[in-house]
Structure 1
Amino acid sequence: MLPATEPFGSLLSRLFDMGGPVMMVLVAIAVAGAITFIYLMLMGTLYAPRLTARLKKIVTIWQQSPATVRPADLRRQVGAVGRLNPMLHLIADTIEACQHQQDSGRVRSTAARDAQQALEPFEAPLKIIEVIAALAPLLGLLGTVMGMMEAFSAMAATEGRANAAQLSGGIYEALTTTAAGLIIAIPFAALAAWIEFRLRRIHKTIDGTLVTVLNATNHVDADRPELQTPAVDTTAEVRAHRNPETAQDYPDHGRPRFAHATG
């Protein structure tokens, strides 16, 4: 066993001696995963789409009296931190486009594209954490296999005269990498599941908010039916936005992990 009171540098050196190159790789990916998680938390704090009380109020006013909503005023009223919220720009841009009587298909396509872009900064760090969670046990197993091969190779070199203490010591050192791989993989797997759950919740919030904003466009210039555009199939519009050439027959398995909002 490694003594708990041993200095960190000496403990790390012993781990490297016991696990060899595989242990070094495990430590490196653990550090990379920790940095990625910290980065993801900072990005989430500053740039994650949030439906604040002010934005909820604006959406409610937009539903009841669209003519009174001024997206430019909304952008000016929020502070510097509020402007970092992608939900603010999604709502303001969509309302502004609806007020300017832009084509409804174009409005929906733009909203879908912007909603996906709001989530893209979080998908790459999530993928890194998922890869670490999947790779760590395999690296640990590789280190154990290499250690066992070395232990039995030493036993074969002595023509079977190695004692049990020598053999068990080699096996113990070989199993260290498996333990290290599991210690790294378990928390990162839990973190990946939690982050994905949070991203799905954010996606549902974006989707529900933009659908509410777009559905309220029926009240804009209700007395001028000639300006109103017919309803469109949102799902088909989003698929056409992704691949115009195959918009008529787009396979469902081609959808990304987080579907576009309004889609």
Structure 2
Amino acid sequence: MREGTETEALTSLLEVIDAAGAVGWVLAGMALSAAIVTFYKIVVFWRSGLWQTKTLRQARAKLRQGEIVEAVRMLDRLHHPAVQLVTLGVDRARTIGLDDKNLEIEMEQLSLGVLERLKSGIRYIGAVAALSPLMGLLGTVLGMIDAFRQMEAAGNQVDPSILSGGIWLALLTTAIGLVVAIPATAAQIWLNSVIQKTTRRLEETGTAVLTGLHIHTLKARSVNNAVNFAAE
């Protein structure tokens, strides 16, 4: 029973799209591609660990206290892009020492690269959201032109059903365009909000890394000074 209902619904949907003509099928293709890209971005965000924020927040607290080793241990199994900033900061501090200016530039470049990869595809969804109402309007205009052309061809024997039927089909493309645009716009807004939150977390992590490395360095110097003083 349920399968029959789903089949009927799909058939009705295809009939509506077919009634809208070529513009209807173009809009259907735009809707399908936007849905695929949205699903793909969700998978990418999930695999990138963008929602693993609790552990990241705890690790940042450790970094601000200068507990670098503990923070790295907490982030060991995390996939969030912010982990790359911590790894970069720790590696640079170990190999060439703490250099605030250069390290900050490197972390900024790394963050920009990560965000650019995460943003890929969202612009396409935005394009679908912006263009689908215009495509629907184009279909409406073409449908109205065709309806009035049929009226002109009919001459004095104009059938009102020709005009009403033409207008109905013409407005159908506008409706389909809006149906495509609304969820595409919602998807774009939501995906951008995830990017904005990720940007903020990357900035907070970068600041925490610099702060943590400074505190860790000061602690190490204090221990060395104490050892040297005791040796004297």
Q: TM-score, normalised by structure 2?
A: 0.81
Give the structure 2 partner of residue 119 of structure 1.
Answer: 115
Aligned length: 216
Q: By how many angstroms is 1:12 displaced?
A: 4.5
Candidates 148, 151, 154, aligned match of 1:155: 151
Candidates 194, 197, 203, aligned match of 1:198: 194
Uncovered stretches (5+) of structure 1, i.e. residues with no partner: 225-263
Question: Is the radius of gyration larger for structure 1 or structure 2?
Answer: 2
Give the structure 1 partner of residue 227 of structure 2.
Answer: none
Q: By how many angstroms is 1:20 displaced?
A: 1.2
Q: By how many angstroms is 1:88 displaced?
A: 1.7
Residue 103 of structure 2 corresponds to residue 107 of structure 1: yes
Q: By how many angstroms is 1:167 displaced?
A: 1.0
- Which whole-Å CA distance do the structure 2 matches of 1:131 and 1:67 have between them? 43
- Which whole-Å CA distance do the structure 2 matches of 1:210 and 1:32 have between them? 36
Give the structure 2 partner of residue 94 of structure 1.
Answer: 89
State the one-letter code of the partner of 2:90: I
Percent of counterpart pairs with the same letter?
A: 27
Q: RMSD value over aligned CA atoms? A: 2.7
- Which whole-Å CA distance do the structure 1 matches of 2:165 and 2:212 have between them? 72
SS in 1 for 2:185: helix
Q: By how many angstroms is 1:107 displaced?
A: 0.8
Q: By how many angstroms is 1:48 displaced?
A: 4.3
Of 91-100 and 19-28, deviating more is 91-100
Q: By how many angstroms is 1:218 displaced?
A: 2.9
Residue 35 of structure 2 corresponds to residue 34 of structure 1: yes
Q: By how many angstroms is 1:109 displaced?
A: 1.2
Uncovered stretches (5+) of structure 2, i.e. residues with no partner: 222-232
Where does 1:1-150 land on structure 2 (aligned, <5 Å)? 7-8=8-9, 10-49=11-50, 52-66=53-67, 68=69, 71=72, 77-78=76-77, 82=78, 84-100=79-95, 101-150=97-146
Deviations 1:82-124 (A, max 9, x none): 3x33222222222332344143222111101111222223212
Which structure's residues are more often helix, by fraction? 2
SS in 2 for 1:7: helix
Contact 2:85 2:205 in 1 (8 A): no
- Which whole-Å CA distance do the structure 2 matches of 1:69 and 1:5 have between them? 54
Q: TM-score, normalised by structure 1?
A: 0.72
- Which whole-Å CA distance do the structure 1 matches of 2:85 and 2:62 have between them? 16
Q: By how many angstroms is 1:69 displaced?
A: 5.2
- Which whole-Å CA distance do the structure 1 matches of 2:102 and 2:156 have between them? 77
